[in-house]
Amino acid sequence: DAGITQSPRYKITETGRQVTLMCHQTWSHSYMFWYRQDLGHGLRLIYYSAAADITDKGEVPDGYVVSRSKTENFPLTLESATRSQTSVYFCASSEVGSTGWYQPQHFGDGTRLSIL
């Protein structure tokens, strides 16, 4: 089925460890996004990608690394996890129309990450 899937759904790790969150979409959307959602802050953009091998920083990129070697995959890596990175992480995808406006973004189910 077409859609966007995230894995794992839940993850507990310790400070200082590296952790990678996976995102896979089957719509062939050009654009993919990573958000974190915390109480009081709403959705905050971490990184986004306009196409394979093209990535750019969002509002809160520090401590995160992304890559996009294939259009359908957009993994997010926390190289050395900190407690402040405990959050719910959402991946999304969309297209941009001829006007330059984003089309509606479609979200994955999220990864709930706890860093002890």
Partner 1 sequence: QKEVEQNSGPLSVPEGAIASLNCTYSDRGSQSFFWYRQYSGKSPELIMFIYSNGDKEDGRFTAQLNKASQYVSLLIRDSQPSDSATYLCAVNRPSGAGSYQLTFGKGTKLSVIP
Q: Near partner 1 by CB under 8 A, which window of 18-26, 60-68, 72-80, 92-100?
A: 92-100
CB of 16 to partner 1, least distance (A): 28
Order of all β-strands in the sheet with 4-7: 4-7, 19-25, 76-78, 64-66
Does 8 contact partner 1 by CB under 8 A? Answer: no
Which residues have CB under 8 Å from 66's CB, separation 6+? 34, 46, 47, 49, 55, 74, 75, 76, 77
According to CB under 8 A, which one of 40, 62, 69, 98 is a site residue for partner 1? 40
Show the tokens assigned to 79: 């190289």
According to CB under 8 A, which one of 29, 90, 113, 115 is a site residue for partner 1? 90
Does 10 contact partner 1 by CB under 8 A? Answer: no
Are residues 13 and 113 in contact, defined by beta-carbon separation less than 8 angstroms? yes
Q: Is the dihedral of CA 88, 106, 98, 49 positive or negative?
A: positive
CB of 29 to partner 1, least distance (A): 13
Q: Site residues (CB under 8 A) for partner 1?
A: 40-43, 45, 90, 94, 96, 99-102, 104-110
